[in-house]
Amino acid sequence: FFLLCLILPPALSVEIEIISINGETGPAPCTKLCAGTTGKDSAWVQKEEWGSNVLYIRVDISRCGFISTPIITTSIEGSSNWHSIVSGTSSVSTASKDGFWIYLYGFNPPYQNYKYHEKSGPTTAFSSSWNVNWSAVGYSCS
């Protein structure tokens, strides 16, 4: 009996219910939770025309197979504390079924007098392993 229990794991039951996504509804079997990370070697880009302290990255979620824009939650993770004082870490921009953008702003008051903007470029983001952790809930069929 013990060996049989090791070979045949118990059935897993996961229940996900979407209350509302932009007024859309879908059948329960089509509800999907998908999560991932951009990875610690993420390619952050500096948005020069917005100032030297703005970084952005596009996050690709196309492998999730959503049929419409899902509900997306994000956080920024890194190996230093610099990412903890930037703005925009949970602000999803231009979301679609295939991806979204995150824009990070280097500092807000009272940090204006601190020369943080000199450290908030893509080099620091890369050397501090900044990455976007995300989860998305949506529909994968209609």
Q: Which of 16-25, 32-41, 94-103 has the lowest mean pLDDT?
A: 16-25
* pLDDT recorded at residue 116: 47
Residues 93, 102, 135, 34: what is their CA dihedral angle, to the nearest 10 degrees?
Answer: 80
* Residue 126 pLDDT exceeds 80: no
Q: What is the pLDDT of residues 64-99, one digit of tens each?
A: 999 999 999 998 888 876 666 677 778 899 999 999
Please check whether residue 102 is in contact with residue 59, taking contact to mean a CB–CB distance below 8 angstroms: yes
Q: Strand 31-37: give its sheet, edge to edge.
A: 31-37, 131-139, 71-77
Q: Residue 12: which pLDDT band, with cuts at 50, 70 and 90?
A: low
* pLDDT recorded at residue 95: 96
